[in-house]
Amino acid sequence: MSFSILILIDIVAILILTFGLYFPRHRRKGMIVAYLTANIGVVAVASILASSAIQAGLGLGLFGILSIIRLRSDELDHTEIAYYFGALAMGLFAGLGGSFSWAMPLMAAAILAALYVGDHPALFGEYRNQIINVDAAYTDETALAMHLESLLGAKVHNITVRKIDLVNDTTSVDVRYQLPTAGTGWSRRDAGFASMKQGR
């Protein structure tokens, strides 16, 4: 498979990732240029490394650095990091296509399939995660969970208490909860959350 065909496959794949999967689901315009530029940049760098006498260890080290890119002014969440890694990986596959050209289309398709399924709105779409500051100092986790369920109108599955401020009478908590869906009513008396852990 020629290098030009691999580049064409990569371009199609990154366009699908950016405009077919990420943007319709997350609507964050700033990440479009990030994904496109990162992908094409990695293709260019990887192709140069593959055609030069530079050792493979340096190339892998470079990819390791690129794979942990984070914007200091605005951190990426785990989903956006997954898209970022997918864009980088597809660029690397295309750039090093001379070594494993037959695998590149399969790997690109596998990455797109993983992002499509893993980030699909229908997959656990009712589950949420938030850090909430409650205007009371809760030392009783059961009472805190019941208060959060009443506040959110949802079933709390897990809470991590990050900070209890007895002076200012506040509690900071990381809560994971499930929004109610049709036909899945629940009672506050159940206060049924799967597990809780005290933050350190």
Q: Are 42 and 50 in contact (CB under 8 A)?
A: no
Quick check: 192 pLDDT over 60? Answer: no
What pLDDT score was predicted for residue 58?
58
Mean pLDDT of 160-168: 92
Quick check: 186 pLDDT over 60? Answer: no
Distance CA 97, CA 140 (A): 58
The radius of gyration of the chain from alpha carbons, rounded to an integer in Å, stands at 22
The pair of three-digit structure tokens given for residue 91, joined into one six-digit string:
């660029």
Quick check: 199 pLDDT over 60? Answer: no
- Indicate where the chain has its CATH 3.30.30 domain(s): 127-198
In 3D, which of 150, 154, 127 has the Cα closest to residue 138?
A: 150
Name which residue leads in pLDDT, 19 or 81.
19
Q: In the structure, what pLDDT confidence band is assigned to residue 60 with cuts at 50, 70 and 90?
A: low
Mean pLDDT of 130-138: 92
Architecture of the domain spanning 127-198: 2-Layer Sandwich (3.30)
What pLDDT score was predicted for residue 194?
40
